[in-house]
Amino acid sequence: MTQHTGEPREDRRSQTAPDPELEDVLIFSGSAHVDLAQEIADYLDIGLAPTTIRKFSNDNYYIQLGTSVRAKQVFIVQPLSPPCSDNLMELLLMLDIARSGAAKDVSAVIPYYSYARSDKKDAPRISIAARLVADLLETSGATQVITMTLHSAQAHGFFGVPTDHLTAHSVFVEHLRKKDLSNSVVVAPDIGHAKRAAKLAKAIELPMAAGEKTRLSDNNVAITGVMGNVDDKDIILVDDEIATAGTITQMVNYLKEHHGTRKVTVVGTHGLFTGPAVSRLNAVDVIDEIIVTNTVPRPEDHKPDRLIELSVARIFGEVIRRNVQGESVGSLFEFWPTNK
């Protein structure tokens, strides 16, 4: 099958004159999430460059960038969402094409870097895949990486090229400030996510708490306690990623049973909703909203009830603009201190 990305969508474009400093910028998309790539291009008021992607009968990829990249600043948008291995291969080939085509710079824009979970050797004879994939990106031609909310913050250090580790913090704060938060507490599912939750709690002026979690398997956890006062409170439960929703549903059920929780707002940057996630979340009646971003695409059967999707296109677009114009992007970093 042949896929052509980069079809014009004039109704979504701004009517202002394009920034002359972006004349040498090209944004391409792999097949993983064309809609997000288009939104980023629209934010910058530049067209999404065309790409042709198809597979040969032997399952090998044929990819062609549809315009010259010589002396251009190239940004390739491709989250490593399922099927992550196919999407990774597409990205590696596109990076190699841009480098071989004499692009000035080649940036891999990876809204969701799935391999960040594999950040350490915690069992015999396994790969630290987060580092391996980072090396592959550089070898393929990436001169920069732009990503968002890595599951493990230390994975940032695996990249041998400049890497912007961004946060969706601002879009969550903007949405939550519209709600009545007078009886709310921000809760991290475990200590490992406490720093991210604390940043959100400070921004919306709320106390925070953290769960005590033991992982039993890839999709099952046990909640053994909560550190902090959560009795009879409305809960804002913050996680970086919602895959099978095992941690989220176990935490919500624990809060409901042991602390009288009647209302939970779930906040997660990457909402994959794989496996039993949708049925698990739909079965929990105290969940009021599930707020995620559009870092990954979601088919209809991967969308639970009460889902709210916030766009992070402007964050990626702004980082691209600032990189091109030589401005600081520190305020958009995941663990950069922010004002209220």
Give catalytic residue positions. Answer: 213
Measured between alpha carbons, how far is residue 269 from residues 121, 146, 330 in Å?
Answer: 25, 15, 19
3-state DSSP of the chain: CCEEECCCCHHHCCCCCCCHHHCCEEEEECCCCHHHHHHHHHHHCCCECCEEEEECCCCCEEEEECCCCCCCEEEEECCCCCCHHHHHHHHHHHHHHHHHCCCCEEEEEECCCHHHHCCCCCCCCCCCHHHHHHHHHHHHCCCEEEEECCCCHHHHHHCCCCEEEECCHHHHHHHHCCCCCCCEEEEECCHHHHHHHHHHHHHCCCCEEEEEEEEEECCEEEEEEEECCCCCCEEEEEEEEECCCHHHHHHHHHHHHHHCCCCEEEEEEEECCCCCHHHHHHCCCCEEEEEEECCCCCCHHHCCCCEEEECCHHHHHHHHHHHHHCCCCHHHECCCCCCC
Phi/psi at 58 (nearest 5 deg)? -90, 10
